[in-house]
Amino acid sequence: MGILDFLSGQFIDVIHWTDDTRDTLVWRFEREGHEIKYGAKLTVREGQAAVFVHEGQLADVFTPGLYMLETNNLPILTTLQHWDHGFRSPFKSEIYFVNTTRVGNLKWGTKNPIICRDPEFGPVRLRAFGTYAIRVTDPGRFMTEIVGTDGEFTKDEISFQIRNILVQEIGRVLASSGIPVLDMAANTAELAKLVVRAIEPTLAGYGIAIPEFYIENISLPEEVERVLDKRTSMGIVGDLGRFAQFSAAEAMTRAAENPGTAGAGMGMGIGMAMGGAVAGPWGHGAQRPPAASPPPPPPAEHVWHIAEDGETKGPFSTAAMGRMAAAGTLTRESLVWTPGQDGWKRADEVADLARLFTVMPPPPPPPRPRGA
């Protein structure tokens, strides 16, 4: 075996990376003295990219595939280093593997409240939180702008840098959206799209993108939420007087179900107190007089129709029928009908009209002769 074969065999390299952590974004291939054999095999798997750095300069970026590290595949490196030895010497370089898959379950949240102007409540303070995912779209730019020489760069490290950008844009979007606070829960998807569009140019300068962004919650301060809950409760309760009566009745019912206990006496006391509160100005212990019942509605007045010579006349009121009876145009044999009556009937067969004929005065007596 010749010296050249011996030296070549000392530097046989197979360069690859497998990651089981699911949170590593960049990993540097460690090699003693950073010596990589000329002609080494580089395996780049799907969801990865390999960034080749030589003497501090980014030489090349390899996409998924199998590569032989030689001058044919390293044109940039060929101009950086001269192969002037009698054998193909190793070269001192670094290879960084970059995870280009989607890395999710990153959390964001507002540290301080965001002041917004709500059209209904006026100035309000809002807090928000949610999750997002990132993906490296430009490994070379990502290495130069974010990672640098970090040998193992995780998603937690990038999340700290992105979070400030996110919170800044979220505050601006919420403050300028014009969406009422009570309607924001129904518009979180639209707000999320606005935030992503706003930060896309900045993140593109770092070689990353946000394929997923979710707003899980937008909340008011606790004291404001308590007031809002009271306002909602008042809307549900409605009539406070009826609610107090209902509560008093429930307290007395519970007390009756548990006689002879302290809770029973307490329930009765609560019921009496609430009942007294409902009584208002009628005095302590006094019973409120029953409310006067409203008068019954007036009876509906009948209207009448008269059949005469094959024609229907009317409608006439009862008073008009009385005048017609007095004038003789309405007789006992006249056929009449009123709504609800079963067919036409004679006037003297209808109780309401029969009395019109009974109260008529008898014909006047003949005049007495003079001198009688």
pLDDT at residue 39 greater than cutoff 60: yes
CATH number of 103-224: 3.30.479.30
Digit-coded pLDDT (tens) for 174-184 = 888 888 888 88
Chain centroid to Cα 123, Å, comes to: 21
**pLDDT beyond 60 at 3:** no
Q: Are 69 and 95 in contact (CB under 8 A)?
A: no
Using pLDDT thresholds of 50, 70 and 90, give the confidence band for residue 359.
Answer: low
Phi/psi of residue 312, each to 5°? -105, 130
Helix 155-176 to helix 188-204 angle, to the nearest 10 degrees? 120
* pLDDT per residue as tens digits for the range 226-263: 777 776 766 666 666 766 776 777 777 777 777 655 55
Asked if pLDDT for residue 173 goes beyond 80, the answer is yes
State yes or no: pLDDT of 4 exceeds 70: no
pLDDT digits (tens, 9 = 90+) for 300-344: 677 888 888 888 888 888 888 888 888 888 888 889 988 878 888
Kind plus residue range of the DSSP H or E element containing 203: helix 188-204
Please return the burial class of 319, using the count of CB atoms within 10 Å of its CB with bins 0-12, 13-18 and 19+: exposed
Q: Which pLDDT value is given to residue 87?
A: 37
Higher-scoring residue by pLDDT: 96, 78: 96
Cα–Cα distance, 160 to 209 (Å, whole number): 15
Residue 18 is predicted with a pLDDT of 87
The domain made up of 303-358 is a member of CATH 3.30.1490.40: yes
- Return the minimum-mean-pLDDT range out of 36-40, 127-131, 164-168, 201-205: 36-40
**Quick check: do 103-224 and 303-358 share a fold?**
no
Computed over every residue of the chain, the mean pLDDT equals 77
Q: How confident is the model at residue 352 (pLDDT cuts 50, 70, 90)?
A: confident
The string of DSSP codes covering 237-277 is: H--HHHHHHHHHHHHHHHHHHSTTSHHHHHHHHHHHHHHHH
Q: Are 17 and 47 in contact (CB under 8 A)?
A: no
Q: What is the pTM of this model?
A: 0.54
Domain spans of the chain? 3-99, 103-224, 241-280, 303-358
